[in-house]
């Protein structure tokens, strides 16, 4: 795999004011509108733009109300991973809004039903979660839904096996780094409220700051030992 073919994939979550009660620890993933616009400006103007992909998780209604128009204004497109169990609830996309995103040229994938930790579900629970969300979103979209973003980035071999078994062709994690187009699992990097411009530049250009390289090396060493 030539490194030149690898992609960097960013994850956005909510933008602006949440229209629902947030989960514990979730607020750090919500960006103010100005910060969101500035991040999109950087992506649109980036020399590696052709190798950058944009995703949104959780199916917040800010996907359509705020994010999509800002994307179109910059000639950008994105894939939106929706929670089928929240569809139509306050603060989340409803079926018509999901279809509106598609009409704007955006793609729709599954984030599961209820934002649960897939690595903690039993096999039957996981199979139900993956099949139910796929069917519900396909009924809304009218096209096959074959990509999934793993909630909280938590997965194991059983999760990947279940995703393939449920008919998903691509899965997205939150592991950071670059993604090989032919791989089943595509790592992504979250943009958070505390993501500075220099960290964002590292994410977009695929360069890892030394402290993170060190930490990753240490992490690998620990895993290899234990």
Q: Mark the segment that binds Zn ion (CB under 5 A) among 21-29, 55-63, 95-103, 193-201.
A: 55-63
Q: Is 79 an interacting residue with respect to Zn ion (CB under 5 A)? A: no
CA–CA separation, 108 vs 77, rounded Å?
11
Q: Mark the segment that binds Zn ion (CB under 5 A) among 57-65, 101-109, 130-138, 218-226.
A: 57-65
Minimum CB separation of residue 45 from Zn ion in Å reads: 28
- What is the SS3 assignment for the chain? CCHHHCEEEEEECCECCCCCCCCCCCHHHCECHHHHHHHHHHHHHCCCHHHEEEEEECCECHHHHHHHHHHHHCCCCCEEEECHHHCCCCCECCHHHHHHHHHCCCEEEECCCCCCCHHHCCHHHHHHHHHHHHHHHHHHHCCCCCEEECHHHCCCHHHHHHHHHCCCCEEECCCCCEECCCCCEECCEECCCCCCHHHHHHHHHCCCCHHHHHHHHHHHHHHHHC
Q: Mark the segment that binds Zn ion (CB under 5 A) among 44-52, 67-75, 130-138, 150-158.
A: 150-158
Binder to Zn ion among 109, 112, 151, 153 (CB under 5 A)?
A: 151
191, 12 contact by CB (below 8 A): yes
Q: For Zn ion, which is the closer residue by CB, 51 or 85?
A: 85
Binding mask 98-137 for Zn ion (x = CB under 5 A): ----------------------------------------
Q: Mark the segment that binds Zn ion (CB under 5 A) among 32-40, 67-75, 94-102, 146-154.
A: 146-154
Q: Mark the segment that binds Zn ion (CB under 5 A) among 71-79, 89-97, 145-153, 160-168.
A: 145-153
Kindly state the number of chain residues that form the binding site for Zn ion, as judged by CB under 5 A. 3
Closest CA to 82 of 43, 50, 114, 53: 114
Contacts of Zn ion in 189-208 (CB under 5 A): none
Give the position of tokens 């128009």.
69
Binder to Zn ion among 57, 63, 79, 129 (CB under 5 A)?
A: 57
Q: For Zn ion, which is the closer residue by CB, 58 or 61?
A: 58
Binder to Zn ion among 12, 43, 58, 80 (CB under 5 A)?
A: 58
Q: For Zn ion, which is the closer residue by CB, 51 or 101?
A: 101
The footprint of Zn ion (CB under 5 A) covers: 57-58, 151
């Amino acid at each position: 795999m030539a490194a030149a073919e690898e992609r960097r994939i960013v994850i956005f979550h909510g933008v602006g004011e949440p229209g629902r009660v947030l989960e514990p620890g979730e607020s750090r993933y919500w960006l103010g509108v100005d910060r969101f616009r500035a991040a999109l400006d950087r992506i649109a103007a980036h020399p590696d733009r052709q190798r950058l992909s944009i995703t949104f998780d959780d199916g917040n209604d800010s996907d359509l109300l705020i994010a999509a128009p800002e994307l179109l204004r910059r000639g950008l497109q994105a894939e939106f991973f929706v929670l089928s169990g929240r569809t139509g609830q306050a603060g989340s996309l409803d079926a018509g809004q999901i279809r509106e995103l598609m009409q704007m040229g955006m793609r729709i994938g599954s984030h599961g039903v209820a934002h649960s930790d897939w690595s903690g579900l039993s096999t039957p629970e996981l199979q139900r979660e993956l099949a139910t969300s796929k069917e519900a979103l396909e009924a809304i979209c009218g096209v096959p839904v074959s990509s999934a973003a793993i909630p909280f980035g938590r997965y194991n071999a059983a999760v990947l096996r279940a995703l393939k078994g449920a008919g998903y062709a691509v899965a997205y994690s939150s592991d950071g780094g670059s993604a090989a187009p032919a791989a089943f699992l595509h790592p992504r990097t979250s943009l958070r409220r505390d993501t500075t411009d220099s960290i964002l530049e590292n994410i977009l250009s695929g360069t890892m700051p030394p402290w993170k390289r060190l930490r990753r090396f240490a992490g690998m060493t620990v895993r290899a030992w234990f």
